[in-house]
Amino acid sequence: MSPQKIIIDTDPGQDDAVAILLALASPEELEVLAITTVAGNVPLDLTSKNARIICELAGRTDIPVHAGCDAPIARKLITAEHVHGKTGLDGPTLPDPVMPLSDGHSVDVLIDTLRAHDAGTVTLCTLGPLTNVAVALDRAPDIAGRIKQIVMMGGAYFEVGNITPTAEFNIYVDPEAAKIVFASGVPIVVLPLDVTHKALVTAERNDAFRALGTPAGIAVAEMTDFFERFDKEKYGSNGAPLHDPCVIAWLLEPDLFSGREINVEIETGSELTLGMTVADWWRVTDRKANALFIKDVDADGFFTLLTERLSRY
């Protein structure tokens, strides 16, 4: 079977970095057409720099990295240095990138790439705020019918919020963008905190990354050593939740995950619950299902997959 064509829209971020490494280590299954960056965990200049740092760590300077929107559609940017550090990739010491940014704004690249490939053949993997995708859908409504699916890390229901009591960061940063995406009619797979908080990098799992002994394995272990502080302190959890790699792992081995086709709406009116993903998990409304909402993962299977793929570097 030929590899699935994907575009990774991202705001690296340590967990984004691991997701990118997982994707680039899986060329039989995934063809990464482009990486499009967006402001999120840290400002755009840093997410765009970090994406290239990771491509170079993966030995994949052939992957075009494009910079995108530097702020949400209708709000001031909120970043997450408190989680990811000042650089967005705190933890390992990695060299500044040599590879340049590729020409073209992420929004134009999304539109042009989707128009250049057969309809229904390109998957968007979104790992950050949905600003780029929403602006592309707004500027070129025809692409909605061309996107195979959007597989996103975002939202929360049973797990509630990580940036406010009710909202997950990616959705909260740009709720207007999320509203556009969830109303687009594009097939959506959501990997919310409900599942990513079950993909915890325990000490044993992180030791397995470090034991790979390669620059990639050691860098992932050192990113995790930094990244886990926030969640361990806040949730008392047994390690860092690997949010964004769940998106790529779902594409590689969907049977590791389970969820339900339900309706998900985005709160954009109330300041109190702004950015909440109102997931009708119990189907108590007659609102049409618009997303596959993932709730569970075989965590051991996930880490076996991830560690094996990282061992390929």
By the rule CB under 6 A, 201 interacts with ligand RIB: no
Among candidate residues 66, 84, 197, 243, the one labeled active-site is 243
Interface with ligand RIB (CB under 6 A), residue from 128, 175, 239, 245 = 128
In sequence order, the 6+-apart residues with CB closer than 8 A to the CB of 294 are: 189, 190, 191, 192, 194, 195, 246, 250, 257, 258, 259
Q: How far is the CB of 296 from Ca ion (least distance, A)?
A: 21
The nearest distance, CB 244 to ligand RIB, in angstroms, is 5
Q: Computed from CA positions of residues 173, 267, 188, 248, in that sequence, does the dihedral angle turn out positive or negative?
A: positive
- Kindly state the tokens that stand for 249: 């792992």
194 binds ligand RIB (CB under 6 A): no
Parallel, antiparallel, or unpaired for β 257-262 and 291-297?
antiparallel
Write down the least CB distance from residue 8 to ligand RIB, Å.
Answer: 12
Binding characters for Ca ion, 91-130, by CB under 5 A (x = yes): ------------------------------------xx--
Rounded distance between C-alpha atoms, residue 203 and residue 225, angstroms: 9
Verify binding: residue 243, ligand RIB, rule CB under 6 A: yes
Of 168, 174, 194, 222, the one binding ligand RIB (CB under 6 A) is: 168
Q: Does 168 bind Ca ion (CB under 5 A)?
A: no
Closest to ligand RIB by CB, 78 vs 140, is 78
18, 58, 111, 169: which one binds ligand RIB (CB under 6 A): 169
Buried b (16+ CB within 10 A) or exposed e, 167-199: bbbbbbbbbbbbbbbbebebbbbbbbbbbbbbb
CB-wise, 63 or 248, nearer to Ca ion? Answer: 248
φ, ψ (nearest 5 deg) of residue 287: -70, 140
Tell me if 155 sits within 8 A of 262, measured CB to CB.
no
- For 152-169, give the DSSP string: EE---STT--SSSSS--H
Nearer residue to ligand RIB within complex by CB, 40 or 97 = 40
Number of residues that bind Ca ion (CB under 5 A): 6
Whole-number Å distance between alpha carbons of 64 and 50 = 13
Q: Does 275 bind Ca ion (CB under 5 A)?
A: no
Q: Which amino acid is at 108?
A: D
Question: Is 243 among the residues known to form the active site?
Answer: yes
Q: Min. distance of Cβ 36 from Ca ion in angstroms?
A: 13
- Which of 174/265 has CB closer to ligand RIB? 174
CA dist 71 → 27, 74, 81, 249 (Å): 32, 8, 16, 28
Nearer to ligand RIB (CB atom), residue 44 or residue 146: 44
From residue 222 to residue 251, what is the string marking binding to Ca ion with x (rule CB under 5 A)?
A: ----------------------x-------
Enumerate residues 41-70 that contact ligand RIB by CB under 6 A. Answer: 41
Sorted by sequence, the CB contacts under 8 Å of residue 43 that are 6+ apart come out as 70, 77, 79
Catalytic residues: 243
The site for Ca ion (CB under 5 A) is made up of 11, 13, 16, 127-128, 244
The site for ligand RIB (CB under 6 A) is made up of 11, 13, 15-16, 40-41, 127-128, 153, 162, 168-170, 243-244
